[in-house]
Amino acid sequence: MFAAQSNRTNTALELSFKSDPRYISRLSSLAGRIFPEADMKHWHSTGNALLLRDPTARRILIVNNQKLQLQTLAFDTITKRLDHHVKLIDLAANEFDLKQFENASFTAAGFLDIGMSHREMNDLMFGTYFRPSGVYSTVCEKLSDSNLTMFGEKNGYQLDLYITPMTVDQVLATFDAITNLEHFADPKLFDSGLKDIRSTVEGDACYLRVHLHKPDLSAFEIKPFISESNTLANSIADNAIKLLKSLPT
């Protein structure tokens, strides 16, 4: 479902590591090495963090003293150039002398258009994910909205899953709250591209957020982590929507 609606799905790959007191010199050195390789148009450095921006491909890379983050506004951006992105991560790992990442996570959040209004999606939540709405009449009547959060595991990954039918107002408010959104525009204040993406997601939608994470990953496990978590997130989204629509999974 994420892959089928790639432009309605934003992602974030986050690799966290132990902070080192020498990070300022290392970050500076990394900036010099990674920028020519990154194929990203803009760079910014605050001294504590390095930000590389590629507004055309809607991706940004942030490296600070304890985290490397690759963020995109489309689901397939990372995997389309998987080797390229793995190379950038390797560069950072070498520069910071990292053998192990403390935690690796992949998050995909989609404003999925499943052809239903908010009211319809909310109605279907009861009887599928929740018990039929009548069961709750003693505590709440005329159930007008719902939100499901699940924490668990799937295929060896820790999983946080959020399913929320959203009205158009909720969609826009959630879209506007995407972290670092302003860095995806070029030039920052006048690029209409973001407005176009915002228009794409405008409408009632089923908001699905899949957060997959694994602790203690060695540097050479990052590539399989990226491709596996990407496939798994897509499959979870498929099945989550199928459950809502009472389709066999």
Partner 1 sequence: MATPTIIELSKALAYIGGTAGTKSYPSDATSYETVPLDIFHELSDDFSALTVERKVLVRAGRRKDTLIKVRSQVVPTLPQRLRSPAYLGARRRALSKQLRAEVDRVELQVDREDFYVATYPIFDLIDTALRELQTATTEGNSREILRQIRDSLIDCGWEKYKAREARNAVREVLALLERLEVVEAQDARFSYGVLRDAGLTPMNFGKMEPHDGDIEYDEESGTNETIGGAETGQASDKDDGSGNDTQKKAKMCN
Q: Which spans of this chain sit near partner 1 (rule: CB under 8 A)?
A: 114-117, 120-121, 123-124, 127-128, 244-248
Nearer to partner 1, 150 or 247 (CB): 247
Say which amino acid occupies 31: A
Q: Can you list the positions of beta strands (E) in 41-87?
A: 42-45, 49-54, 59-64, 67-72
Residue 248 beta carbon to partner 1: minimum distance, rounded to whole angstroms: 5
Q: Least distance (Å) from partner 1 to the CB of residue 123?
A: 7
Which is nearer to partner 1, 127 or 193 (by Cβ)? 127
Smallest distance, Å, CB 242 to partner 1?
Answer: 10
Residue 220: what residue type?
A: F
Residue whose structure tokens are 């080192």: 20
Backbone dihedral angles phi then psi of residue 66, each to the nearest 5 degrees: -140, 10
CB 232 to partner 1: min, Å: 24
Of 124 and 201, CB closest to partner 1 = 124
In whole angstroms, the minimum distance from the beta carbon of 154 to partner 1 comes to 23
Q: Which is nearer to partner 1, 58 or 118 (CB)?
A: 118
- Integer Cα distance of 220 and 217 in angstroms: 8
Which residue lies nearer to partner 1 by CB, 144 or 246? 246
User: Which has the closest alpha carbon to 68: 83, 84, 46, 90?
Assistant: 90
Taking CA atoms, 129 is separated from 47, 111, 158, 230, 241, in Å, by 47, 19, 20, 24, 11
What are the Cα distances from residue 150, in Å, to 11, 96, 220, 230? 19, 35, 30, 19
